[in-house]
Chains A and B, each alone.
Chain A
Amino acid sequence: MSLPADAVTALEKFQNAAGWEQRARLLMQWGDRLPALNDVDKVDANRVHGCESQVWLVGALQDGHWQFAASSDARLIRGLVALLLARVNGLSAPELRQVDLPQWFNQLGLSRQLSPSRSNGLNAVLQRMNELASLP
């Protein structure tokens, strides 16, 4: 299964990042580029709970392909979410089920963001995405 174009770009950038500072700058750049979420979507029903910051995630199948949109009031989690969307947007439902998302963040050098004690919410976002994706 080939990577979406955005994911290829992300992988290239992050794998070449030297040190935490550059990774942080990249994360913020990716977060800044995340398309704004409509205010109507920033409602409690779309809130991802279990995050220190406010995170919203919506997703729908369009012509058989997933399109997720998300936002957060914190910049680094917004960057992490942007990297997540870069990997999954445009996938078909069976493709999405096969993606190993922890492995994706591992490839980006960001696996620590998924450790169980992290309360930044990336784990919660992944779980929410799984819930959305498994809805009939």
Chain B
Amino acid sequence: MMIPSPWRADFPAIAALQRQDQTYLDNAATTQKPQALLDALTHYYANGAANVHRAQHLPGAHATQAFEASRSKVAQWLNAGDSGQIIFTHGATSALNLLAYGLEHLFNPGDEIVISALEHHANLLPWQQLAQRRELKLVILPLDANGLIDLDAAAQLMGPQTRLLAVSQLSNVLGVWQPLPALLAMAKAHDALTVVDGAQGVVHGRHDVQALGCDFYVFSSHKLYGPDGLGVLFGRNEALKQLRHWQFGGEMVLDTDYLHARFRPAPLGFEAGTPPIAAVIGLGATLDYLTGLDQDAVNAHEAALHDYLLKGLEARNGIRLLGKPQLALASFVVEGVHNSDLAHLLTEQGIAVRAGHHCAMPLLKSFELAGAIRVSLALYNDSEDLERFFEALDQALELLR
């Protein structure tokens, strides 16, 4: 059965990679970019770059207009409505660090921060370090056999001492939607703040932050077919009131003398210094492109590809999947084969997949693994990409076994 991608030609890098005999299946790390984004970047740089929110001149006005239009597009993409603000950061990691520093004043020794066992280092280390600074307890929600956060355990582990819950929507290793509604309800019952790491989740399907009801939602542009160096932090209005300013500098200040300052509210108060203007404009173009796609068709395509991937892996001997992936990716190890050897031979054959700990060392350790191979899909992948991967996998295993 062939599964062609009707959107493949919209991403010029895919053809370029193919000319270099490379099959790109590392999309959970970063994605290729649509032509619409390349055009927007070229247009911006070719027609007059200018700084935003500063100058009264015409180029400045144009840049600011395009920049703020992107902010609206992101808000629409997440259906934020008037419920909150979109803050641009330099990545999902910097958005999570902004939260860990900007909310620090709310925590007292003995308070608890709750995360899960599957968190990416970006949603682990900022909280771990905050816990160390403030003598807090970091509570780790365990997973069940399918890679889902164990809700019974979560109910036991969360309580009045829980001040904040920070969890991923979709794991970058396990590829399973986490039971966010139940978890967020538990956190809210204890008046805890809620942070959702949407770095992987935002790429698959559409999400509604109002329906989700989280206080903060974080994602990175480059995984959503946008430019790198740009992250997005959605904050609900009430939650943003508790967020203190973190980084200080140009354009985030209302007025200052040498010794004192007053700062702007969100979003500009949290965007110190010149933001990644071109990247923000580029993300707007990417969102325009994505909005123009038939989302049901994209979902169906991704589901069919994922099914194809799982069936192919299951048809081979000795392959052990990590968890029970539902979408987007599959991580696996092969009995008796070191993942470093397998990665080496896949690389030799032009297969771009990820091997290693996937920035989730504690999770891999819980599987008693030093690493795994991850195949991750995007809307431009097709069944031929997967066929090339399977051929290379068979060749590699034949050599190694």
Which residues of chain B are within 8 angstroms of A73 by Cβ–Cβ distance? 338
Pairwise interchain contact B340-A53, C-beta atoms closer than 8 A: yes
Contact of B387 with A by CB under 8 A = no
For the complex, would chain B's binding face be called helix, strand, loop or mixed by DSSP majority? helix
The segment from A17-25, A85-93, A98-106 found at the interface with B is: A17-25
Does A74 touch B at the CB level, under 8 Å?
Answer: yes
Q: Which of A24, A75, A119 contacts B356 (CB 8 A)?
A: A119
* CB atoms of A74 and B356 under 8 A apart: no
- Bitwise, B369-401 to A at CB < 8 A (1) or not (0) is 011000000000000000000000001000110
Partner of B340, one of A20, A21, A28, A77: A77
Q: Which of B338, B345, B395 contacts A53 (CB 8 A)?
A: B338
Name the A residues within 8 Å of B356 (CB-CB): 52, 119
**Within 8 Å CB of A53, what residues of B?**
338, 340, 370
The residues of A that contact B340 with a CB separation of less than 8 Å are 51-53, 74, 76-77, 120-121
B348 within 8 A of A: yes
Contacts of A51 in B (CB 8 A): 340
Chain B residues within an 8 Å CB radius of A52: 339-340, 343, 355-356, 370-371
- CB of B395 within 8 A of CB of A21, answer yes
CA distance A21 to B345 in the complex (A): 9
A28 to B399, CA, bound (A): 9
From B341, B370, B395, B399, name the one whose CB has the most chain A CB atoms within 10 angstroms. Answer: B341
Produce 1/0 per residue, B324-364, CB < 8 A to A: 00000000000000111101110011000001100000000
CB-based nearest B residue for A20: B348
Query: CB-CB < 8 A to B349: which residues of A?
Result: 20
Given contacts A52-B339, A52-B371, A75-B338, contact A24 B355 (CB under 8 A): no
Cα-based distance from A20 to B399 in the complex (angstroms): 11
A114 to B205, CA, bound (A): 39
- Measured between C-beta atoms, what is the minimum distance from B361 to chain A in Å? 12
List chain A residues, Cβ under 8 A from B345: 20, 24, 76
Q: Give the number of chain A interface residues (Cβ < 8 Å).
A: 18
Q: Mark A57-75, 1 if CB is under 8 A from B, else 0.
A: 0000000000000000111
CA distance A120 to B371 in the complex (A): 12
Cβ of A28: which chain B residues have Cβ within 8 Å of it? Answer: 399-400
| Chain A residue with the shortest CB-CB distance to B398 | A21
Q: Considering residues B339, B344, B356, which has the most beta carbons from chain A within 10 angstroms of its beta carbon?
A: B344
User: Least Cβ distance of A116 to chain B in Å?
Assistant: 14
- Does B395 contact A76, Cβ atoms closer than 8 Å? no
The contact sample of 22 A-B pairs, CB cut-off 8 A, is A20-B345, A20-B348, A20-B349, A21-B399, A24-B399, A25-B399, A28-B399, A28-B400, A52-B339, A52-B343, A52-B355, A53-B340, A54-B370, A74-B340, A75-B338, A76-B340, A76-B345, A77-B340, A119-B355, A119-B356, A120-B340, A121-B340
A-B contact sample (20 more), CB < 8 A, given A53-B370, A75-B338, A75-B400:
A20-B348, A20-B349, A21-B395, A21-B399, A23-B348, A24-B348, A28-B400, A51-B340, A52-B343, A52-B356, A52-B371, A54-B370, A75-B341, A76-B340, A76-B344, A76-B345, A77-B344, A119-B356, A120-B340, A120-B343
Which 8 residue pairs spanning A and B have beta carbons closest together?
A: A20-B348, A74-B338, A74-B340, A52-B340, A53-B340, A76-B344, A76-B341, A74-B341
Could you list which residues of chain A lie within 8 angstroms of chain B, going by C-beta atoms? 20-21, 23-25, 28, 51-54, 73-77, 119-121
